């Protein structure tokens, strides 16, 4: 059972979101706030009283203390609540740099609220300590990146990404199902997925080690076989990539079957 907070300065939107959350049997308690400052004060008061807060559904556009700034502030607390942003797509993508579990596109729909709650429950179950063990949002195998495809939103799971390439202010995610372009700096994606098996193969490329099937040298340059594609490794990153792959292999061999 989750204890959540809904934050939106629009009374109608806040009322609708809170109602949908309270209708969900996986939600134990819903607290509401109309602006970022009062939300922050409520979070601090709850922590001082020893009350658990598992997640925050917050609009990115709030009066006074902006929603993204609020997310950064509460994200700095020990064991912070997970985040679900409620906003327009262009703003929400930038918010994903803060490690959101999901985002809801206004006007919100009941099925999308239910899906966001499902993702929160999955993330909580995967965290140390189970449902009560809150960790920074975006951790665990449930992390996803939203991709816009002709008016539809597709959620690309981290573990499905073979490698990612920088394209200016965008990143192209190469997955088992094709390539998808998202508006996010590669450096932000690297920070978000640090410690999750992604290797910096080039200043413009991150490679998911779990999809690397071969390491070879071609004309004196290191190349990784990632799925059906050969991904070159820069000389600057070659030693670190090799060492990390060898270390990963040794750990896999040493692990009990």
Write the DSSP assignment of 77-93 as a string of letters.
SSSPPEEEEEE-HHHHH
Does residue 43 form part of some domain?
yes
How many Cβ atoms from other residues are within 10 Å of residue 168's Cβ? 8
pLDDT band of residue 25 (cuts 50, 70, 90) is very high
* Higher pLDDT pick, 103 / 206: 206
- Identify whether the C-beta of residue 153 lies closer than 8 Å to the C-beta of residue 195: no
Domain of residue 172, CATH code? 2.40.50.1020
Residue 138 has what pLDDT? 41
* 141 in a structural domain: no
Paired residues of 152 in beta bridges: 149
Say which range, 82-91, 178-187, 220-229, has the weakest mean pLDDT: 82-91
Mean pLDDT of 238-242: 92
Higher pLDDT, 137 or 234: 234
Q: What is the pLDDT of residue 31?
A: 97
Residue 158 banded pLDDT, cuts 50, 70, 90: confident
Same structural domain, 183 and 126: no
Mode of pairing for the β-strands spanning 178-182 and 170-175: antiparallel
Give the CA count within 13 Å in the CB-facing half-sphere of 99.
22
Structural domain including 161 reads 147-254
* 59 in Cβ contact with 8 (< 8 Å): yes
Number of domains in the chain: 2
Whether the bond into 252 is cis, omega within 30 of 0: no
**Where residue 21 sits, what CATH number does that domain have?**
3.40.50.2300
Q: Can you tell me the mean pLDDT for 160-173?
A: 92
Residues 128 and 152 in one domain: no
R_g of the chain, CA atoms, integer Å: 20
Same domain, 214 and 107: no
Give the CA dihedral 133, 137, 143, 145, nearest 10 degrees. 160
Q: Determine the pLDDT at residue 61.
A: 87
pLDDT of residue 142: 47
User: What pLDDT is attached to residue 134?
Assistant: 38
| One domain for residues 152 and 114 | no
Query: Under 8 Å CB-to-CB from 21, ≥6 apart: which residues?
Result: 4, 6, 27, 30, 57, 113, 117
Q: In this prediction, what percent of the chain has a pLDDT beyond 70?
A: 83
Classify 54 as helix, strand or coil: coil
Do the Cβ atoms of 29 and 89 come closer than 8 Å? Answer: no
pLDDT at residue 166 greater than cutoff 80? yes
């Amino acid at each position: 059972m989750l204890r959540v907070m809904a934050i939106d300065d629009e009374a109608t939107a806040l009322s609708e979101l809170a109602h949908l959350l309270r209708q969900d049997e996986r939600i134990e308690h819903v607290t509401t706030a109309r602006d970022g400052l009062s939300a922050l004060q409520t979070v601090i008061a709850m922590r001082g009283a020893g009350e658990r807060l598992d997640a925050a559904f917050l609009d990115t556009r709030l009066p006074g203390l902006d929603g993204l700034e609020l997310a950064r502030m509460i994200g700095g607390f020990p064991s912070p609540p997970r985040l679900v942003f409620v906003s327009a797509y262009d703003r929400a993508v930038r918010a994903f740099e803060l490690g959101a579990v999901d985002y809801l596109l206004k006007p919100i729909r009941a099925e999308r609220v239910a899906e966001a709650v499902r993702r929160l429950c999955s993330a909580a179950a995967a965290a140390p300590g189970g449902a009560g063990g809150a960790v920074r949002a975006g951790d665990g195998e449930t992390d996803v990146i939203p991709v816009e495809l002709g008016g539809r939103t597709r959620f690309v799971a981290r573990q499905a990404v073979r490698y990612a390439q920088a394209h200016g202010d965008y990143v192209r995610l190469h997955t088992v199902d094709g390539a998808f372009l998202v508006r996010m700096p590669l450096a932000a994606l690297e920070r978000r997925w640090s410690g999750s098996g992604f290797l910096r193969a080039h200043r413009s490329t991150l490679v998911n080690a779990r999809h690397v099937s071969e390491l070879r040298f071609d004309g004196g340059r290191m190349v990784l076989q990632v799925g059906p594609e050969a991904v070159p490794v820069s000389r600057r990153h070659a030693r670190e990539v090799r060492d990390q792959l060898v270390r990963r292999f040794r750990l896999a061999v040493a692990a009990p079957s």
